[in-house]
Structure 1
Amino acid sequence: MPSEMSKLTRLQHLSCFVVGKHEKKGVKELGTLSDLHGSLSIKKLENINNNFEALEARIMDKKYLEELELEWSIDAEDNIQNSQSEMDILGNLQPGKYLKRLDIDGYRGTRFPEWVGDPSYQNLTELSLYGCQNCFMLPPLGQIHSLKNLTICGMSMLKTIEPEFFKNGDYFSETPFPSLEHLMFDDMSCWEVWNHPRESYASFSVLKSLVIRGCPRLRGNLPTHLHALETIEIEVCNQLASSLPRAPSMRKLVIHESNKVALQELPLSLKELRIKGREITESIFEAIAITLQTSLRTLDIRNCSSTMSFPGDCLPASLKSLYLENCRNLDFPKQSPEHESLQYLCIDRSCDSLTTLPLEILQNLNHLFIRNCENIKCLSASKVFQNLVDIEIRECSKFVSFPREGLSAPNLTSLYVSRCVNLKSLPCRANTLLPKLEKVTISNCSEMETFPEGGMPPSLRSLYIRNCEKLMRSSSLTSMDMLMHLSIGGPCDGVESFSKGGDFSTSHPSRN
């Protein structure tokens, strides 16, 4: 920082102060800046030598500050000799009572001073504790009645959350965390147990979102009743065998690589479900089979190696979006009834038994993405698809054809085909059946020889071709005078000239 910042006594806005080692750039330079407003971030606090220097910053006197970040550098040498001294330094950086947001990042003490968690901070709505790697216990935060958002991340020494987390000494109300709406635990590598006080039946009474991520040793004891909970995310918690909280208002459930989570049934209010892992997918399918799902809109399934089918060989009737990734033994439902609600479908390295995708059962599809599906050979369609706007097919080595009679999609605007080495042609009758097609990308389709008979639709504006040597010899390429953008990569020896108009360019990038 510039030297002698302390002379700017009428300064009202200072976004960041970096503590220097030189006396004229130390933290005490903040002492005279009592008129600071808004948000202040104080960085490199490891350069404070003792608690008296911290006291000279007079953070408590800055009554107009609403947001404060206290940050110790991650890469600073951890040469702490006295944990009490570290706690005293943070203790003397105590902010005023009107603070609304507090971030403590990289604090090096083993415990927090008493002011962190003091219920007298009646305006504090957001609190984040990041990377406090030496702390082995949490401050008592449950009695900060105004707290709405709480994030605890990277406390690698913490093994147990005790009931003291909910109360401050003998001060305990019947409703710990009465205003908390969003709670996140992230990257807690040693956390094993979450103990709740006996009086915690009313805890988290308005909690809407609970995220527990990267806690590989956590075994259980999640809150049992969270009536206001709408979202729960549990990721990389391999030992967590607890049942999910009872949450009748749950709208979003995410469980990734946490296969021991116990699941009895799905809430009827659930709209978004994202799961990753074999065991949890089996459990979810069992729950879907016994639960009449009328609200589910989004289903995302990843990394399931089990051989299994959707319950009843059909998708939930209300489903709008389906994403399947790395589920090769999962059978895609191919029979009636039609899946009239489905609008978005992505199949990636999944459904190896699928050789033909019958679009007839996906009448209202908007977006279709097929990637790395080893055995799919073609699409079948005998209807008009009014809602389909884009198709993407990638790395499907056996894919040989679009529907023989053509693909009637009057509102399709984008078509992307890449690494389909046996595909020889785009959809036939494209000039009439795809009247709004604007953008076409064809990449690494070595057997594609020609554009559809009758040419491309007049609506086409952008054409991108990469490493399609046979296609470059097609005479119809030079007659596409409707194009505004043409990009060609790879060998293009077959092109001798272009007709009028447009912004045409050629390039020779590497074969990707």
Structure 2
Amino acid sequence: MSVKALVDDAETKQITNSNFRSWILELKHAVYDAEDLLDKIATEALRRKMESQDQNAVEQSLINQAHILLLEVNCGREKAFQRPPATSMVDDSRVYGRDVEKEEILRLLNPQSLTETRIDVIPIVGMGGLGKTTLAQLIYNDSRVDDWFEIKAWVCVFEEFDAFNVTKTLLEEFTRGHDGSHSLNQLQIQIMEKLSGKKYLIVMDYVWNKNYVDWEELRIPFNYGAQNNKIIGTTCNESVASVMRFMRTVPTYRLEILSNDDCCKLFARHAFVVKQAP
């Protein structure tokens, strides 16, 4: 079934999944954008026949537009078919590739690698299924992280983002306990006391929220830590990465696909699993 046919078919049916309906709407807009982009490419191809000048800048612009469009469609699909929340645990033996990417981000986390700022936000952006969460897990569990930071927390954010729930989850991560408070103010005071004078790392996985006001409300207690604190956020949405720049942010880390060799290893791992005898 073509993308346009999928959209038309979905619109004629009573779909109750709100995330799926939202994705179909985004996909519909993406189809229109794709048609506009194809028109631009056709126009550019015609102009090329009439001109012989260098078109590198135009080519790059069209490629960038196509990349953004693909990312938006994939991001919407990932949102529609929401996966279960991931924990910070990871089995290194089942991970292929990403050694280079892991070391690159660890260099950004190294307190000696950046200027003396209070907080740095590192957004990891890429289409669904590339391994953003796995990469964050590898980093979170690296022994060097425990040497660099006095305290750390992992929170899976999801679409139902609000400052109260995220703050509550962070506090429970920091304290390794359950908090029954129903006051955002009290939660933020406790986080402020927990972070005061300490160097911390926070990983926010699966971030969707683009509301600047929510992020402004969330960030308040983060300012009470020591210098060189780090926040890693994984998302497939470039707009989310931009909104996360509520504090000094290093350039967005764009995760690319695995190499062919690593893809083959990963496929073989899942396709040719030998079952253990009982």
Indicate the TM-score class for this superposition, using the shorter chain for normalisation. under 0.3
- TM-score, length-scaled by structure 2: 0.23
Specify the structure having the higher radius of gyration (Cα). 1
Higher relative contact order (CA 8 A, sep 6+): 2
> Quick check: which one's strand share is greater?
1
- TM-score, length-scaled by structure 1: 0.14
